[in-house]
Amino acid sequence: MAGNKGRGRAAYTFNIEAVGFSKGEKLPDVVLKPPPLFPDTDYKPVPLKTGEGEEYMLALKQELRETMKRMPYFIETPEERQDIERYSKRYMKVYKEEWIPGSKPKKAKDAGKGTSLTRTADVLKKIEELEKRGDGEKSDEENEEKEGSKEKSKEGDDDDDDDAAEQEEYDEEEQEEENDYINSYFEDGDDFGADSDDNMDEATY
């Protein structure tokens, strides 16, 4: 059986003094919202320094932030698959230089995925091709590291090269834009209009 409440008056089920209120003291108002995120402080902060140097560094900082995002060292997270491929996406691609660590040109040494992964040396291999694949699969070609040139394989080659991957991407785009037809239109050896009843090529009588 529950304890009786005094008629019309609530009694605390715990010792109110333990929480810090003396008996009979007026309790603070009910709080209807969370406390402010940035409450006022007694002492206001010192104003920021101003001057030519400070202004310049501020502008520099903001500029650097933007520049870094466009550099090849900024690795974008692979996008999640989109349900609908938006047309505008093609035109919003940001141009980025590819950075391939290592200044030596690609050697046609074979290293299939299998063999390179089973190599005993745990090394940072030269990444030959940073082709972006839609589903983020690993790059196909991993070359053997060049002995004694690991340092180089880590250094950026900073000439403004259009590398192979980029060329491909670019050419593809160029081709796509040169004709007005969707490439899939004539897939699978369809003969356009061959089986169609609406044969517009022939004159209708």
Residues that bind other proteins (CB under 8 A): 42-43, 45-46, 48-49, 53-54, 56-58, 60-62, 64-65, 67-68, 70-71, 73-77, 90-95, 101, 103, 117, 120-125, 127, 130, 136, 138-139, 147-152, 154-156, 158-162, 166, 170, 173-174
Min separation Cβ 9 and other proteins, Å: 44
Separation CA 97–CA 159 (nearest Å): 10
Buried/exposed 33-69: b ≥16 CB within 10 Å, e otherwise = eeeeeeeeeeeeeeeeeeeeeeeeeeeeeeeeeeeee
Min separation Cβ 113 and other proteins, Å: 10
Q: Which is nearer to other proteins, 80 or 195 (CB)?
A: 80
Min separation Cβ 184 and other proteins, Å: 21
Q: Which is nearer to other proteins, 32 or 121 (CB)?
A: 121
Phi (first) and psi of residue 114, to 5 degrees? -60, -50
Q: How far is CA 87 from CA 136, 143, 174, 190, in A?
A: 21, 36, 16, 25
Min separation Cβ 87 and other proteins, Å: 12
Q: Which is nearer to other proteins, 123 or 196 (CB)?
A: 123
Separation CA 166–CA 172 (nearest Å): 10
Min separation Cβ 84 and other proteins, Å: 19
In the chain, helix, strand, coil percent, each to 5? 30, 0, 70
Q: Which is nearer to other proteins, 13 or 120 (CB)?
A: 120
Q: Which is nearer to other proteins, 106 or 150 (CB)?
A: 150
Min separation Cβ 34 and other proteins, Å: 17
Nearest to 127 by CA among 160, 164, 159, 92: 164
Q: Which is nearer to other proteins, 21 or 73 (CB)?
A: 73
Separation CA 121–CA 118 (nearest Å): 9
